[in-house]
A and B are shown apart, each in its own frame.
Chain A
Amino acid sequence: MKIVLDRPRCEGHGLCEEAAPQLMHLDEHGELVLDREELADTDASTAQAAVRVCPVAALRIA
């Protein structure tokens, strides 16, 4: 299980970082950095919350 970013869709809101700060952050240019692409089962609910909160659906779980 991993998080996949559709970079052209990302608008840099950062609501995902707020939902899952241990999994991702936005750098100083507002670009999203996935800190852990491969997810453990224990990350599933946090990752799901990050995916769901994105208003432009730039994230998905694969």
Chain B
Amino acid sequence: MSTAAAGRIVVVGNGIAGLTAADTLREAGFDGDLTIVGDEPHPAYSRPALSKALLRDRNAGTAHELPPAGHGATELLGVRATRLDLDRRLVALDDGTDLPYDRLVLATGSRARRLSGLPGEATLRGLDDAVALRDRLASAPTVVVIGGGPLGMEIASACVGSGCRTTLVSQGTPLTHQLGPHLAGVFVSAALASGLTLVRTGTAARIDGTTDAGRVVLDSGEAVEAELIVSAVGDIPNTEWLADTGLTANGAVPVDVRGLARPDVAAVGDLAAFPTPHGVRRVPLWSSAIEQARTAARALLHGDQAPPLRFQPYFWTEQFGLSLKAAGRLPTAGEPAYLEGEPGGGPALMRWSHADGSATAAALGLRVPVPRLRRMTEPTT
């Protein structure tokens, strides 16, 4: 199929997934009419930086900035898609216009899950959230962070670093669910040593809206009060605008191995659930969004001729003075082999072998590039 047959392509979503899809369409030879819609007024930015350098370092004002887009698409920024009509091939926007397409990329991402509708509950998802949170931290308020995942821990780290008396409320031990007990232990030790107060709960905490002060109520009935409450309790795909299309399942958009929901519609990034060795699931991470977008853009032009997704997980975090880079399956059970360094939180290179012969490799405080970590995850024969 020539790319001329693709006609007009609309990309809905201007995060890294939408941006990469638009770039890749051009790389793959599509020189037709291309439009990208973004609900934020900002150019695309690096979301991982928001909870790391941008929040931690008051001088890191540009840590999130990406090189300018090279796709030359018509950019409609600050407008939101409200409805999709698959039969008439129209995307309705909240400024009242209908955008016609021949091929469509769904990349509207996800938003922060909230525990309440209270204005006092801060979340960190977009650039505006990050800048507002950084400004709040400047006056060193007391903080309760709810959520013991990587995002909650990165936020808590920035709060402690800003001199805030900070309590983290976590269901179970932070990071265990995402990284496994060994790495979780390394980070929790560093967090406690840096002055974080950790409160473990059995079930979800709730935010008490009956007082002016911020109050987080635990399952024990006890309450923790603070001047600032930040929740980091997961994300919800932005798929409401697709509600009557039949494209969604369990709130996400399931796609095939090439990122297509149907031949003329691709879905990429945090809203897409794609086939992995562990089932069809969302993998809302940076390199996942990029790989999905690169695959799906080519599939939108070339169908089954395009190569399928071969996603390999890559995860990194920076918090409490530690940095971690990991390739392979997470979380990991049990204790790793230390190929460099030793247990205790210092610089180390670790490897967990799995029953199927594959492995997970992690570098703590070391500049070990992904290609080397990847090689360590391959089966040893």
Contact = CB atoms under 8 A, between A and B. Distances in A.
Given A13-B325, A15-B370, A18-B370, A55 B48 contact: yes
B369 A14 contact: yes
B66 A53 contact: no
A14 B290 contact: no
A56 B70 CA distance: 17
Nearest to A26: B369
Contacts, number: 65
Contact of B369 (A13, A52, A53, A56): A13
Interface in B45-82: 46, 48-49, 53, 63, 65-67, 70
Contact of A14 (B48, B65, B371): B371
Nearest to B46: A55
B138 interface: no
Interface string A1-36: 000000000011111011001000110011100000
Contact of B67 (A12, A17, A45, A60): A60
A31 B369 CA distance: 9
B286 to A, nearest CB: 5
B30 interface: no
Ranked nearest first, the 3 interchain pairs of A and B with the lowest CB-CB distance are: A30-B367, A14-B369, A12-B367
Contacts of A53: 287, 290
Contacts of B351: none
22 contacts: A11-B323, A12-B368, A17-B371, A18-B371, A18-B374, A21-B371, A29-B367, A30-B367, A48-B27, A48-B70, A51-B67, A52-B19, A52-B20, A52-B66, A52-B67, A55-B49, A56-B49, A56-B53, A56-B63, A57-B46, A59-B67, A60-B67
Interface of A: 11-15, 17-18, 21, 25-26, 29-31, 45, 48-49, 51-53, 55-57, 59-61
B63 A30 contact: no
B23 A30 contact: no
Given A53-B290, A57-B67, A61-B67, A12 B369 contact: yes
B366 interface: yes
A15 B314 contact: yes
B46 to A, nearest CB: 5
